[in-house]
A = this chain, B = another copy of it.
Amino acid sequence: MCTDASALVEAIRSLAVRGAPLLGIAGAYGVALAAARGFDVAEAARALEEARPTAVNLSVGVRRAQDAHQAELARTGDPTAAAVAALAAARALHQEDAEASARMAAHGLALLDELLPGGGHRVLTHCNSGSLVSGGEGTAFAVALAAHREGRLRRLWVDETRPLLQGARLTAYEAARTGMAYTLLTDNAAGSLFAAGDVDAVLIGADRIAADGSVANKVGSYPLAVLARYHHVPFIVVAPVTTVDPGTPDGASIEVEQRPGFEVTEVAAPHVPVTGAGGGIPVAPLGTQAYNPAFDVTPPELVTAIVTEEGVVSPVTAEALAELCARARGAALG
């Protein structure tokens, strides 16, 4: 349990709290918490935003609560009222996220049915994008779940998602408890499924979408996009509009978080005795350096469609995304 913002920063860094939409909600609640406890709100907001540099939803959530706090403080001069306003902003974001999940699921399922008229979808997903990362049922996973509920999901292929195994640990759990037909695989084995013609669509979430439509998501997404293109399989990104960052012009401008090498050089598992510096058991020779980017970037030309709560963007272009964002702002103001 996180009783102050610095504990939350640590929870975000260590990925105990993770997933793009949930990071936004957590960031907003973190600011509200700092305000309620009388900490320096600006400092807490900065620390929270910096906990994961790639996730744009995190800073969107943080800023929304911070803006509400500042506005109320300027209006009333009352720190308690400002803290209440920050909490209200966090709760509103939480609620909106749940509603956005449901709308993304509906738009995504309609797109799947349009692209794959036969039904019986065999969907491959990577990392975790269900209710564990969302105020609602998630992003990409929510689309698969909607297909499952309508009897149109034949199988969910679950990439284990090294190094932290979010697919094996989290997505397999969400698939099992919702009664889906699912199969786990090493990320390596996805190629064999494509080659055998056993993947009808790839569905993934996103941590940041640049203005040009470049998609930052969990490392391993880009190789799937290349495989999907090579095999003429739709590659579909599902994310709330807040994931689109007009301030990031293109893929090259996305800062990709580099994580510690021990996530790769050591094996971590519950009840494993700690012997390595990272808290796991070394599997590689001592002193081995690892390249461990948390995310990769898929260029827009490899993305078949971006599904948001405000509708589907396909083909993915800067103009279409800008129009979507304008429409979403209009809806928020209206």
Would you call A220 an interface residue if the criterion is a C-beta within 8 Å of the partner chain's C-beta atoms? yes
Number of copies of this chain that the complex holds: 2
CA distance A275 to B161 in the complex (A): 22
Contacts of A162 in B (CB 8 A): 160, 162, 186-188
Using A184-B290, A195-B296 as known contacts, list a sample of 15 further A-B pairs with CB atoms less than 8 Å apart, ordered by residue number in A. Answer: A157-B291, A162-B187, A168-B284, A183-B290, A184-B288, A186-B264, A187-B220, A188-B219, A188-B223, A191-B223, A195-B222, A195-B297, A270-B281, A271-B273, A271-B275
Would you call A260 an interface residue if the criterion is a C-beta within 8 Å of the partner chain's C-beta atoms? no
Dominant SS at the A interface? mixed
CA distance A182 to B290 in the complex (A): 9
Q: Can you list 12 A-B pairs, Cβ within 8 angstroms, ordered by A?
A: A168-B265, A169-B284, A172-B288, A176-B285, A184-B264, A184-B284, A187-B188, A191-B220, A195-B296, A267-B269, A269-B280, A271-B275
Q: Are A269 and B283 in contact (CB under 8 A)?
A: yes
The 6 closest A-B CB pairs, nearest first, are A188-B220, A191-B223, A162-B186, A191-B222, A267-B269, A185-B291
Would you call A230 an interface residue if the criterion is a C-beta within 8 Å of the partner chain's C-beta atoms? yes
Contacts of A275 in B (CB 8 A): 271
Would you call A292 an interface residue if the criterion is a C-beta within 8 Å of the partner chain's C-beta atoms? yes
Would you call A163 an interface residue if the criterion is a C-beta within 8 Å of the partner chain's C-beta atoms? yes
Q: Are A291 and B187 in contact (CB under 8 A)?
A: no
CA distance A265 to B120 in the complex (A): 26
Would you call A227 an interface residue if the criterion is a C-beta within 8 Å of the partner chain's C-beta atoms? yes
Checking B172, B195, B230, B264 against A168 with a beta-carbon cut-off of 8 angstroms, the contacting residue is: B264
Contacts of A293 in B (CB 8 A): 189, 192
Q: Knowing A162-B188, A186-B163, A227-B223, say if A172 contacts B281 (CB, 8 Å).
A: no
Would you call A289 an interface residue if the criterion is a C-beta within 8 Å of the partner chain's C-beta atoms? yes
Would you call A330 an interface residue if the criterion is a C-beta within 8 Å of the partner chain's C-beta atoms? no
The interface size of chain A toward B, counting residues with CB under 8 Å, comes to 57
Q: Are A186 and B269 in contact (CB under 8 A)?
A: no
B-binding residues in A (CB < 8 A): 157, 160-163, 165, 168-169, 172-173, 176, 182-193, 195, 219-220, 222-223, 226-227, 229-230, 256, 261, 264-265, 267, 269-273, 275, 280-281, 283-285, 287-293, 296-297
CA distance A283 to B267 in the complex (A): 11
Query: What is the distance, in angstroms, from A169's C-beta to the closest C-beta of chain B?
Result: 6
Q: Knowing A168-B265, A176-B285, A222-B192, say if A186 contacts B227 (CB, 8 Å).
A: no
Query: What is the distance, in angstroms, from A149's C-beta to the closest C-beta of chain B?
Result: 20
Q: Which residue of B lies closest to A187 (CB)?
A: B188
Contacts of A264 in B (CB 8 A): 160, 168, 184-186
Query: What is the distance, in angstroms, from A41's C-beta to the closest C-beta of chain B?
Result: 36
Q: Which residue of B lies closest to A261 (CB)?
A: B184
CA distance A273 to B269 in the complex (A): 11
Q: Are A223 and B190 in contact (CB under 8 A)?
A: yes
